[in-house]
Amino acid sequence: MEASTQQQIASERVTRVMARVLYWIGRHWLLMANTALALYVGLPILAPWLAYHGFERGANLIYLIYRPLCHQLPERSFFLFGPQLSYTLEELQALMGGIVAQRAIGDPEIGYKIAVCERCVAIYGGMFLLGLLFSLVRQRLRPISIKVFIAFCAPMGIDGFGQLFGLWDSSVVSRLVTGALFALACVLLVYPYLEEGMGEVRREAQATLMQHQAGDADG
C-alpha cells in the first residue's frame, strides 16, 4: 500500500512538471521560434566576420554545418568585408583567376561570403522579422488559404526551376523577393495555426495544474 502511494505521488509530480513545461512552451512558442530563426540566420552571418578577423576554425565549422542545408554557391551569396555585396560568376572568375570552387568562402580582396545563399537569407531572415511582427497581431491574424499560400510560393519555384534548367539566370533581386514571399507565405499560414494550437496546450496544462492544486487543498 505504501509503495502504491509513493508511485502515485511520483506520478503526480511528473504530471505537474510536464504540465508546467507544456504551459511554458504554450506561452513562449513564438519566442522559441524567433530565437531559433535568429540563430539559424545569424550564424551564417557570423561566419564571414570570423573569417575576416582570422578565426578560421570557427568560420570553417559554420560553413561545414550549413553545407548540407544550402548549396553555398559564391555567385549566389552575399559577401561581407569586401568592395561588393555580391558578385556574378564572371566577376568571381576574373577576380579569383579562373575556376571558382563551389565552396570558396572568399579572401581579403573580395570579402567573405555568408554561409547560406541570398535566397536562404531572405527566407529565414524574413521569417525572423515577420515573427517579430506577428507578436503584434497574433490574436487577430487568421491563416491564409492553401491557394494563397501556393500563389506566394510559386514565384520561388518558377525562379529556381528556371535557373536549374538553364532557362535564365536568377538575380539578386529575384532571389530576395521570391525568398521573402515564401517566408511571408509560411508565416501567414503556419503561425496562426500554431498560435491556436498552443492556446489549447496552455489551457489544458493550466486545467491540469488547477486540478492538482484543488486536490492538494482537499487533502
Q: What is the pLDDT of residue 184?
A: 97
pLDDT in tens, 180-191: 999 999 999 999
CB count in 10 Å sphere of residue 107: 12
Whole-angstrom Cα distance, residue 144 to residue 205? 28
pLDDT at 179 over 90: yes
Cell of 77: 551569396
Q: Counting every residue, how long is the chain?
A: 219
* E-state strands within 39-154: 79-80, 106-107, 111-113
How many C-beta atoms lie closer than 10 Å to residue 189's C-beta?
Answer: 17
pLDDT reported for residue 208 = 84
Evaluate whether 179 touches 119 at the Cβ level (below 8 Å): yes
Domain boundaries, the chain: 2-214
Q: What is the pTM of this model?
A: 0.88
pLDDT digits (tens, 9 = 90+) for 2-60: 666 667 767 778 888 898 999 999 999 999 999 999 999 999 999 999 999 999 999 99
**Per-residue pLDDT averaged across 120-135, rounded?**
96
